[in-house]
Amino acid sequence: MKPGIHPDYHPVVFQDTATGDAFLTRSTITSDKTIEWSDGNTYPLVLVDVSAWSHPFWTGARRIMDTAGQVEKFHRRYGRRK
């Protein structure tokens, strides 16, 4: 590998803002925020909106959709087929 062309690859903690769960991994992302991890070291902290702990696909939480309302909205917008 050529020296000086690759970004710094370092340990980073990603924290889900919805659930508060966090995990330590390696990344090139930078952050001004830091967190002290269970091993006693301080790592950059990156806050994420969605992770496997809060995503509906992985949690099994389904959104209840008003399908009748969606169909009516479609018919109002585009009209009924004759």
Q: Please, are residues 22 and 51 in contact by the beta-carbon 8 Å criterion?
A: no
pLDDT in tens, 6-58: 888 999 999 998 888 999 999 999 999 999 999 999 999 999 888 877 776 65
The position carrying tokens 């903690």 is 13
Name the 3-class secondary structure at 64. coil
pLDDT in tens, 65-75: 566 677 788 88
Provide the β-strand partners of residue 26: 11
Residue 58 tokens read as 């992985």
